[in-house]
Structure 1
Amino acid sequence: MDLKPLITLLAIVNPLAIVPFFIHYTLGFSRAQRRRTIAISALTAFAVIAISALAGLQILAFFGISLASFQVGGGMLLLMSALAMLNAQPAEAKATPDEVDDAASRASIAVVPLTIPLLTGPATMSTVVIYADQAKTFWQHAALVGYGVVIAAATAVCFALAEPIARVLGKTGINVMTRLMGLILAALAVEVMASGLQRLFPVLDGA
């Protein structure tokens, strides 16, 4: 069995690095709400990888979207999240009290932006689609879906450790980490958009 796709996906998704984002977006959540967020994030990460592996190329072709365009759009979403984090703004900043307490609103945070695009963004989807395009047999496609299970499990474990990490860091430490991760995320967003723009406009490559 070729483990290269799994290693690549773990390096790109890197759920441990997303723990500060999880802390940021779940400030004020109860223990039950955090557990629900963890479960939804893990399941969504698996679903994104599985769907990308099984139907990614067909979905993009159906909508007439190129991988390059997908990268540019995803990069813009990442940049918007990064700008909010640089100001240490919580995810609920623009929500009403009723929306903050609403289970559906909290569930949506687990999907967007926590899982998409922070965990499984354009780079992850593009990687899965590329490996799916290279897969020639049923078992190779099945292995890609199985790797989604591994990614989901790693996500659940890392997010489950977020509470003790939050207790150690405290509010000040979380704010500092939030701004630092926001700066890193902004740089990653520019990288993603630049890569997509170079594919859309090869002249920008400067070759």
Structure 2
Amino acid sequence: MALEFFLSAIVTLVVVVDPVGLVPVFLALTDRFPRSARLQVGLRGCVIAFAILTGTALIGDWLLGELGISLPAFRIAGGLLLFSIAFEMLFGRRKERDSKDAEQAVEEHVRNIAAFPLAIPLMAGPGALTATILLAGRAHGDPLLLGGLLGVIAAVIFLCWLVFLFAVRIERLLGITGNVVVSRLLGVLLAALAVQFVIDGVRAVWAV
């Protein structure tokens, strides 16, 4: 059970955050920055995103309870949201939208790009927040599973940092075709996970 949860958490968060898919946007955001400034932006973005996702994992379930939203209802809604993100990934619309957001942010908030749009919404966006709350709900307050989820979040954010560190090399290695293929494959995986969240939510509702 624990192994299944950890594998699901890793796959879900890696697909939703999509570290490799952040490479083109990260390079566009930090274009003409010296290497030290680029790495500083990447590190700050990772720290902010980690804090947001960790906080969501710890209090997200409590917040739903305070708002009177049942976990099955959130699973269904969250699954539909994740499916919409997967649809955008499959047809290349997510990167187009992210690029436009990034360009606008650079024009308006050059000094704050680590927080916006790098950390929010590119890393800790609606999809990642939704997935984190759903995974925290599956942990059912189990300290081991919750601790494992926090470890997975840390690992995914660390992976983002590594991607930022070697962003230029990764872009050259993958090229345009490689980026498209990776994005499409991750989109298919995310779509399947989203459908599973909806199925779990429907089953929980019918079981009541």
Do 1:41 and 1:111's aligned partners in 2 also have CA atoms closer than 8 Å? no
Do 1:79 and 1:186's aligned partners in 2 also have CA atoms closer than 8 Å? yes
Do 1:39 and 1:156's aligned partners in 2 also have CA atoms closer than 8 Å? no
Amino acid at match of 2:76: V
Q: Percent identity?
A: 21
Q: Which residue number in structure 2 is paired with residue 47 of structure 1?
A: 52
**Match for residue 83 of structure 1 among 79, 83, 87:** 87
Do 1:46 and 1:149's aligned partners in 2 also have CA atoms closer than 8 Å? no
Do 1:15 and 1:158's aligned partners in 2 also have CA atoms closer than 8 Å? no
**Match for residue 65 of structure 1 among 58, 61, 69:** 69
Q: 1:34 to 1:18 in 2, by over 3 A?
A: farther
Q: How far 1:95 sits from its partner (Å)?
A: 5.4
Q: Secondary structure at the match of 1:28?
A: helix
Q: Which residue number in structure 2 is paired with residue 165 of structure 1?
A: 170
For residues 37-73 of structure 1, give each alpha carbon's deviation from its aligned partner in whole angstroms, at most 9, with x where no partner exists. 56324432333223432x3332111001122222222
Q: Which residue number in structure 2 is paired with residue 201 of structure 1?
A: 206
Distance in 1, Cα, partners of 2:16 & 2:129: 13
Q: 1:108 to 1:96 in 2, by over 3 A?
A: closer
Amino acid at match of 2:198: M
Distance in 1, Cα, partners of 2:150 & 2:186: 30
Alignment of 1:1-207 (within 5 A): 9-10=9-10, 12-14=12-14, 18-23=18-23, 25-26=25-26, 28-31=28-31, 35=39, 36=41, 39-53=44-58, 55-89=59-93, 90-92=96-98, 98=104, 101-103=107-109, 107-108=116-117, 110-112=119-121, 114-119=123-128, 121-122=130-131, 124-129=132-137, 131=139, 133-135=141-143, 147=151, 149=154, 152-202=157-207
Do 1:15 and 1:119's aligned partners in 2 also have CA atoms closer than 8 Å? no
Distance in 2, Cα, partners of 1:52 & 1:96: 26
Distance in 2, Cα, partners of 1:17 & 1:51: 15
Do 1:68 and 1:197's aligned partners in 2 also have CA atoms closer than 8 Å? yes
TM-score by length of 2: 0.67
Q: Which runs of 5+ in 1 are unaligned?
A: none
Q: How far 1:75 sits from its partner (Å)?
A: 1.8
TM-score by length of 1: 0.67
Q: 1:26 to 1:68 in 2, by over 3 A?
A: farther
Q: Which runs of 5+ in 2 are unaligned?
A: none
Amino acid at match of 2:55: A
Matched pairs, number: 195
Q: Secondary structure at the match of 2:124?
A: helix
